[in-house]
Amino acid sequence: MQAAQTVRFGVFSLGGVQFALPMEALREVIPCRAFEPLPSPMPSLVGGVNLRDVLVPVLDLRVLLNHQGQASEFPCVVIMAHEGKVLGLLADGVSGIFSAESSEIHRQVVNDPVSAVVHGNVHWADAHALVNVLSAQALAALPQVPMVDDPEPQRIRLGEERDEVVIQDASLPVMLVRCGSVPLALNALTVHTTVSNVEVLPSPLAMGHCLGVMAYGGLHVPAIDLLALCGLGALPPQALHQAFILQLPQGFVACLVSEVVDVVRIQPDVLVPLVSFSLARADMFEAALPMAVLPQEVAKRTAVSVNQYLLIHADALKDTQELVALSATNVAAPTAQSQQTTASHVGSSAQDGVSMIVYALAADTATPFAQIEEILPYTRDAEVFGNDDDMLGLMINRGRSIPVMCLSRMMGGPACVTSSTTSVLVVAANGQHIGFAVNQLKSIETAQWEPDLPSTLSGHHRVAAGRASGKLAQMGHGPQARMLPVVDLARLAQHLCNQGMTEAVDLAQA
């Protein structure tokens, strides 16, 4: 019985499908703005791409495999190398790199050469997804598909000299992006996927570095100005063309960029240390990547006169409190039918559906989203008064001093245990702004109905709901339906401004 081998895969997407190619066959990934005409009887051959003055044929797997998925308008090409020949594979973007045992591949048994291109599928644990494994041998054996001589055969020989069981590869896959005139880089393994043709939609989440939301995978996810988050200015609206998606434990966030330039592999020893005081957010950066160590065509595609890329510290980016808080606000994007339904009921009744923000206190609690002006990440420097009172302290935001209240204590519960997941819900009242600290944001959902509290309710259910607003909201449908107490934060903020702390607390605990 043959021992299982560890296989490293590079994953790319095309038309909504994830494909994995063994790393020994994946040479590089290049952006593609146009294809050169290439005469061929194969409908799946979309043309050729110039790779260092070699015209490499490019295959569209969607056409080959009769898949109807929509491809990106800003594609890239995965260069596959096999037995001294190279072939291009059309892709929407690179999803990442992972390892799996050869025994974990669920192999596909087929009888024709086209179907044999998909060798099987394997579970990508980090992404919690099944990906389709491509066979470089079957791709190379396709009838009528031309391949060209490898312009760099020495790179194949280097690959053959490596350990066949565990490929020792110290190089780092880096995604290069451009934000306006600023070139930035990020470990490609951090990126969940890339998105082209970005449309940023207005949202109450628009605050700080969040410009709104964008649609991804059936969700509305927060869209972040990456340049501003890194303390390097702000992207002008006309420069927002693409984005890359980060997957955090709480959910997804989209980082907006002008262009995804390329994905390259570098050796760690080419990185140059940065002087800490030279950047406003030095903690967000790991090193500088000199342009001189990159292929010449990458420098040309960067399209700005700079001599280095700034390498973002991946862990620092994903641990940013603002991103952590916003990642918990993913909500299902409305379909065209649901948008029509909502439009037809505008003005009829609040019971047709109210957008609610759900957060954790002693239990899940909801507030109408329309009451929230901003959501801010909680910072410990706000705790000027300690946490033994209902008022935790003060935050400065955009020239405003915002008092931060512990919502849990105001409602008679335990003090809020502040952490990286703590968020501040900012509510306006009488021209002022009040912040309510909550343990964790959970989601943004539509309440199916929001009835007055029935008089027959008794015990702790009446107490909890009475403290909230006298209402319960039903979230979800069928077996997933649940009832949540509703907190009227606008009313609490109004009482804080008009009557002061004591009466507002009495109102919350009534």
Distance CA 53, CA 61 (A): 24
* Of 462 and 381, the one with more pLDDT: 381
50 band by pLDDT with thresholds 50, 70 and 90:
confident
Return the pLDDT at 335. 55
Q: Which residues contact 138 (CB under 8 A, 6 or more apart)?
A: 113, 116, 117, 119
Asked, colleague to colleague, whether 6-160 and 347-508 share their fold, the answer is yes
* pLDDT-derived band at 310, boundaries 50, 70, 90: very high
Give the least confident one: 87-91, 163-167, 313-317: 163-167
Instruction: Name the class of domain 347-508.
Output: mainly beta
Q: What is the pLDDT of residue 377?
A: 76
Instruction: For the chain, give every domain's residue range.
Output: 6-160, 172-324, 347-508
pLDDT tens track for 132-185: 999 999 999 998 888 998 887 765 534 343 333 223 334 577 888 999 889 999
Average pLDDT over residues 87-100: 84
pLDDT at residue 361 in the model: 84
pLDDT confidence bin for 292, thresholds 50/70/90: confident
Given this model, what pLDDT does residue 386 score?
54
Candidate CATH numbers 1.10.1740.10, 3.30.1490.20, 2.40.50.180, 3.30.70.260; the one for domain 6-160: 2.40.50.180
pLDDT digits (tens, 9 = 90+) for 215-229: 887 889 999 999 999
Backbone angles phi, psi at 146, to 5 degrees: -80, 145
pLDDT at 162: 36
pLDDT at 465 over 60: no
Q: Name beta bridge partners: 6.
A: 101
CATH number of the domain located at residue range(s) 172-324 in this protein: 2.40.50.180
pLDDT of residue 510 exceeding 60: no
pLDDT at residue number 103: 86
The pLDDT, as a whole number, for residue 71 is 61
Q: What is the pLDDT of residues 326-367, one digit of tens each?
A: 888 887 776 544 444 333 332 333 335 677 888 888 788 888
> What pLDDT does residue 118 have?
92
CB 284 within 8 A of CB 269: no
Reply yes or no on whether the pLDDT at 385 is more than 60.
no
Please state, in angstroms and rounded to a whole number, the distance separating the CA atoms of residues 70 and 49: 21
CA 352/CA 214 separation, integer angstroms? 24
Quote the Cα angle for 182-185-186, to 5°: 145
DSSP lists the bridge partners of residue 88 as 58, 79
Flag whether pLDDT at 496 surpasses 70: yes
379 or 98, higher pLDDT = 98
Residues 6+ apart with CB under 8 A from 398: none
